[in-house]
Amino acid sequence: MPPPSDTSTPCLAAGCRWGGTERDRVILYPEGAIKLQGTGRQVLERCDGRRTFGEIIQELQKEFGKTDPDKIRADISMFLEQLHKRRIVDY
């Protein structure tokens, strides 16, 4: 599957939704659930179908300014690709 482009608008796939508590957020999907913490949670909370992949990357690069911007882009792209393959995220 191709990685998201800068103009892609990532969002939770059909049948997937947020669950759990504010402190212990999870993504519920037909085959199970994924508990989200740290950066993974920050990425998916921005995948609202309104922000583009490019905008999400820019926001996270500002937040993690000391980290190599290319590494941020590569890591987030790989994370979303994995979730896309599992039909948890669409873009």
pLDDT digits (tens, 9 = 90+) for 39-57: 999 999 999 999 999 999 9
Q: How confident is the model at residue 65 (pLDDT cuts 50, 70, 90)?
A: confident
Q: What is the mean pLDDT of residues 54-67?
A: 92
CB-neighbour burial class of residue 2 (10 A; exposed 0-12, middle 13-18, buried 19+): exposed
Q: What is the mean pLDDT of residues 58-71?
A: 91
Looking at the DSSP assignment, which residues form a beta bridge with residue 32? 29
- CATH class for the region spanning 11-86: mainly alpha
DSSP per position, 10-65: -EEPTT-EEEE-SSSEEEEETTEEEE--HHHHHHHHH-BSSS-HHHHHHHHHHHTT
